[in-house]
Structure 1
Amino acid sequence: MNQPKPMLSVAEALDFLLAGATTISETETLPTLEANGRVLAVAQQSQLNVPPMDNTSMDGYAVRAADCASGNATLQVTQRIPAGHVGQPLAAGCAARIFTGAMVPDGADAVVMQEVCVAGKDGERDVVTINHAPPSGEWIRRTGEDIKAGSTILEAGARLRAQELGLAASVGLAQLPVVRKLRVAVFFTGDELAMPGEDLKPGAIYNSNKFTLRGLLENLGCDVTDFGIVPDTLTATRETLRRAAAEHDLIITSGGVSVGEEDHIKPALEAEGRVNMWQIAVKPGKPLAFGEVNSAAQSGRAFFLGLPGNPVSSFVTFLLFVRPFILRLQGVQNVAPKALMLRADFTLAKGDRRNEFLRARINADGGLDLFPNQSSGVLTSTVWGDGLIDNPPNNPIAKGDLVRFIAFSDLMY
């Protein structure tokens, strides 16, 4: 009698997935303004220093520090330098009125903030009394202080957020090479599924997974093709797999990955490609299909990930396994979400034999409250919660224990 294979741990399953991910090689060049959320294909270097010249970080007066050593010096104001203008060399005994971002004139080695200065007149001359003895370099941002010319500012594989785009723009990069968008096909199995707006027949439920998964995929910058709800037959499932594989990098399904007579994903995948992984010691989740469709073909080959049908199971397994797999296909190397150690303000008397991911939220005292119903069908827990507690197998939690918490904000983008 064949013994069932032991379930993979979460870490083993994730390592297996990432080892099988092949980064997309095709790239495109986009205007920097249009590259938000994309993955950088080639490292970028700066061709200039930032800032490109010594400039002031304060409104005030550019001076020679030696002229102000007394802490009560009166200097003639000989020029006014707004940002974007170049002043004249500063003579000894003189000051220049200067504004934030303006180039510090030759001869000046400090800027004194205007709050410790008193402007006045000496006859026809403009003067300023400096009630401060500035050290050399005060309030001056030096050339290249932020970025040196020739240095790498963005590494290949970086996901471009607002701050990366701003950094690229700060060195004059008008365009960026990015990995082309991942083409993902999705379909959903189950004769019980109906779409919102339709009347529910006896035994039917609305297809919430369609909306959850498409939203998650769009957050990750994927081009999504939706093949809709596929009838619960082996023939229909196989035919949809073939069509989806022809033009997509990845196929994701929801439902039909268990072992019942009406669960056709596994036999369809075995017929059209291969199954590499099946059972994972995770809760919610456990059944997760990973494989390839048309694996022997030179073209039309696609990765496959089959998620459970229960809405929370589908949601959590996407965050834990599909998200990092997609990021690696896009060329991102660091795909692990950040985790915090936070205090549990609840008691979990008995841990599950599987690695459990509990929906929780941060309370006003900085601790974690647990959603009272952790069932895999209770989608409200994902809206109520701020993230997931990563609880090891067979681990009870006592009130006051520190637990590993991963925020949804670090799992969805």
Structure 2
Amino acid sequence: MSKPRRSVADHRAAVAALLVAAGLDPAAPTRLGAEDLPLTACSLTGDPARWRGRILADDIAAATSLPLFDNAQMDGYAVRAADLTGATADAPVSLDVRPASVAGEPATGLQSGQAVPIMTGAPLPAGADAVVPIEHTDPPRFGPHARVRMAASVMPGTYVRRAGSDVAAGELLLRAGDALTPAAFGVLAAVGARTVSVRRRPKVLLTVTGHEVRQPGETLAPGQIYDANSFSLWSALTEVGADVVVAPCESDEPERLRAVLQEHLPGADLLITVGGVSAGAREVVRDVLAPLGVWFGSVAMQPGGPQGLGTVPTDGGVVPAICFPGNPVSCLVSFEMFLRPLLAALATGFPPAVLARPAAHVPLAEPLVSPRDMHQVRRGIVDAEGRVRALGGASSHLLHAYARSSVLIHVPAGVEHLAAGDDVETWRIDGCC
């Protein structure tokens, strides 16, 4: 008599409990600690994936003021506002032109009755308190002329960026928990930060198994296939902020898998295996990990029924292990259903519910049939009329149909037939929302 299948909800809860017990609590991601990363390396020599989406571990105070000094907001002339009091078109004020102030050079001083040509971003000369745009002067251009006329008064501070008007030295610049957005990178560089402390990302060892699996570019012998799972799941893991080490095991021999784990598992926060979890012969993951106490069984989900989870001992303690089935669609659907929001929460600090795929109820364009005792996950697209249409069939090998899809379609257990027009829950997976 076969064992009863575990429900999707029960297995999702079991995965979450496993991570919490191992110290990977999505509600307390700071337990992973922090690491310092050099700011200049991120854009000059670094791997962009190492920086994208990183979360600050500590508050950061501004080391300098922004702007660092008073500077011009416009190309024009730096002046004393008092010199232009009463200036009109009929009675313009004429000022002596002094040497220009340009960006990157120290500014000269300015006395009453003088005007200094100034470029955008250049330091405001000592004694000046306003900038008159070049188009408001006569002549309305820079040149070798000795005097310039101005036909209107100005207020002090006109077109001047005051030092510290964005942030003052010592003021809170960014908070712990803030994401390193493009603007955050810019403001850190603007105050001269050399390194930044960010939350450490979960380190995941990804091991795809199978005697038949080979890497793209290799010559395939009869019966062999290319390893799609390492690439698709690596992409999915890095997208949610995990640091991933990919170490395939191109064998069904237990000693080969043990050697891969012995070499790569120390230092990992989480082990994810793919393949070798069913009830057949030569199920290498099950053969190696079941004797260690890892649970293997069936979840009432199609695709992705065979699953495993537990802990694997290492010299430093134990590492939680999540074991997915080997068919490519089963692997990706399992990641979406059980692990994605938990890992995203560990990497970002936001609650898993906030990081869940955008969900919507959408009418079906065509009828669907689903096994009554299974939660079926189909792949599909939403058409121009706002209806969802399944792509491909329910089989777990149809990776091309998955690649073309924009949504996952959920048919819960207990539902066998759905008619065109019936509403179904969909998860957006194309990154558009």
Shorter-chain TM-score range: 0.7 to 0.9
* 2:147 corresponds to: 126
* 1:57 corresponds to: 73
Displacement of 1:68 in angstroms is 6.4
Q: 1:198 aligns with which of 184, 207, 219?
A: 219
Q: 2:312 aligns with which of 270, 293, 299?
A: 293
SS in 2 for 1:127: strand
* 2:276 corresponds to: 256
1:142 matched to 2:162: yes
Which range is displaced more, 396-405 or 109-118?
Answer: 396-405
Amino acid at match of 1:7: V
* 1:112 corresponds to: 132
Conserved 8 A contact 1:241-1:293: no
Alpha carbons of structure 1 residues 186 and 338: separation in structure 2 relative to 1, 3 Å: closer
Whole-angstrom distance in 2 between the partners of 1:405 and 1:310: 22
Amino acid at match of 1:313: S
CA displacement 1:189-240 (0-9 Å, x = unmatched): 33443444233424x433211232344456646251414223066x765665
Conserved 8 A contact 1:85-1:102: yes
Whole-angstrom distance in 1 between the partners of 2:387 and 2:149: 58
Conserved 8 A contact 1:194-1:206: yes
Amino acid at match of 1:318: F
CA displacement 1:151-198 (0-9 Å, x = unmatched): 343444556465543332111111233456754333223344344423
Amino acid at match of 2:40: L
Which range is displaced more, 50-59 or 341-350?
Answer: 341-350
SS in 2 for 1:407: coil
Whole-angstrom distance in 2 between the partners of 1:65 and 1:338: 57
Amino acid at match of 1:306: C
* 2:45 corresponds to: none
Q: How many residues align?
A: 400
Q: 1:48 aligns with which of 54, 61, 64?
A: 64
Displacement of 1:310 in angstroms is 1.9
Conserved 8 A contact 2:364-2:419: no
Alpha carbons of structure 1 residues 143 and 311: separation in structure 2 relative to 1, 3 Å: same
Displacement of 1:127 in angstroms is 0.6
Displacement of 1:245 in angstroms is 3.4
Displacement of 1:145 in angstroms is 3.1
1:354 matched to 2:393: no
Q: 2:428 aligns with which of 402, 405, 410?
A: 405
Give TM-score scaled by structure 1 length.
0.73
Q: List gaps (5 residues or longer) in structure 2.
A: 43-47
Alpha carbons of structure 1 residues 240 and 85: separation in structure 2 relative to 1, 3 Å: closer
Alpha carbons of structure 1 residues 11 and 305: separation in structure 2 relative to 1, 3 Å: closer
SS in 2 for 1:82: coil
Displacement of 1:253 in angstroms is 1.1
Alpha carbons of structure 1 residues 269 and 85: separation in structure 2 relative to 1, 3 Å: same
CA displacement 1:89-131 (0-9 Å, x = unmatched): 555555432211123345544433323333279x97321335x
Conserved 8 A contact 2:101-2:108: no
Q: How does 1:92-111 map to 2 (within 5 A)?
A: 94-106=114-126, 108-111=128-131
Give TM-score scaled by structure 2 length.
0.71
Whole-angstrom distance in 2 between the partners of 1:377 and 1:267: 24
Q: Over aligned residue pairs, what C-alpha RMSD do you find?
A: 4.6
